[in-house]
Amino acid sequence: MKNFITIVSGDPNSIGFEILAKAWKKLDLNKKKGIILIGSFDLLYHQLKKLNINIPLLKIKNFDEIFLSSKILVIDVPIKFKNPFKVEERNIKKYVLSCVKIAHDLSIKNKIRGFINLPINKRIVFPNKNIGMTEYLSKKNNIVRSEAMIIYNKDFCVVPITTHIDVKNISKSLNKSLIEKKIITTNNFLKKINKKKPVIAVLGLNPHSGELRKNTEENRIIIPALKNLKKKKINVIGPFSADTIFVNKKKYNYNVIVGMYHDQVLAPFKSIFNFKAINITLGLKYLRISPDHGTGKDIIGKKKADPTSLIEAINFFKRFVKC
């Protein structure tokens, strides 16, 4: 059962089910046998009917009814709707978190190795909070501040030390312990996946790494953290200036770039890889992945959604369960 790929419904008003159906059609037969969806069977059925996409579905009541099948097995989580692409917002938060809870509980009980969640709207699911699924799941796993968000591509990855916080709060949120914990988590993950120690390039916070002036975050926090990590035999280099590191891959031959905040590393990375990347939460008691894009509100119901990132997530999941 652990080798089944469990996919969790995201925001109903999204391209989630469209990319699921398109991805399923592109999978080879071996990967098609073993796809589980946790979400609304009726919503999935009616969205695909409107999109004129036909894939085989089978509703089941709970995980105990799971069996190997070439159909997508749907553990049904009902949600009320009139228009399948315009579900009322008041129904969405409870639905999404109910789906995630089922997947979390199955993972904790070791019935599955983890899950892939389809895109969510953070404004609806986590209103008035600067958090996303990374922070939500780290709290449920009791590992707050030692989890890490990695945006993964086989060529190289990026990790932000701080994630969904306002820019004005970045500096005061940084400390040596936080940097060390997240880099250790990242190092352990990449060692497991790649079977060798990674080269971890670390960025400064300020333009040109603050020219390494005496009272900068680079000198007070980042460099001492790197010295401690080197003592632990972790292969860290830096701090580098963010404006040149992405064009110096051949020079430094790094496997991952660790930045101090979200957009410092995600914006250039997404410009390079577009849909050829996935979002993974590191440090949990199980694997959690999501496609590295949002809900696609501007193309809902138009059959224009690109399933590439979800396919990458499924392929990575299959690889991970063999590690």
Output b/e per residue, 157-181; b: 16+ Cβ within 10 A. Answer: bbbbbbbbbeeeebeeebebebbbb
Contacts of residue 35, Cβ cutoff 8 Å, sequence gap at least 6: 4, 5, 7, 24, 27, 72, 73
The whole-number average pLDDT for the span 130-155 is 92
DSSP 8-state symbol, 222: I
Q: Is the pLDDT of residue 19 over 60?
A: yes
- Whether the pTM exceeds 0.85: the reply is yes
The whole-number average pLDDT for the span 25-42 is 90
- In this prediction, residue 322 carries a pLDDT of 65
Other beta carbons within 10 angstroms of residue 236's beta carbon come to 23
- Residue-wise pLDDT for 35-90, tens only, equals 999 999 999 999 999 999 999 999 998 888 887 788 999 999 999 999 999 999 99
Average pLDDT, the chain: 93
For 289-315, the DSSP string reads EEESS---GGGTTTT----HHHHHHHH
DSSP 8-state symbol, 186: H
Domain 148-278: assigned CATH number = 3.40.718.10
Question: Which phi and psi angles does 247 have, rounded to 5°?
Answer: -100, 5
DSSP 8-state symbol, 4: S
Q: Is the pLDDT of residue 135 over 70?
A: yes
CA 195 to mean position of chain CA atoms? 22
Name the residue with tokens 């992405």: 246
Q: Is the pLDDT of residue 28 over 80?
A: yes
Q: Which range (5-19, 23-37, 246-260) has the least confidence?
A: 23-37
Q: Is the pLDDT of residue 2 over 80?
A: no
DSSP percent split of the chain into helix, strand, coil, nearest 5: 45, 15, 40
Q: Tell me how far apart the terminal alpha carbons of the chain are, to the nearest angstrom.
A: 16
Is 1-143+284-323 CATH 3.40.50.10320? no
- Residue-wise pLDDT for 184-193, tens only, equals 999 999 999 9
The token pair at 71 is: 């159909």
The token pair at 78 is: 């009902």
Domain boundaries, the chain: 1-143+284-323, 148-278
Give the confidence band of 323 by pLDDT, cuts at 50, 70, 90: low
- Residue-wise pLDDT for 246-283, tens only, equals 999 999 999 999 999 999 999 999 999 988 999 999 99
257 close to 159: Cβ distance less than 8 angstroms: yes
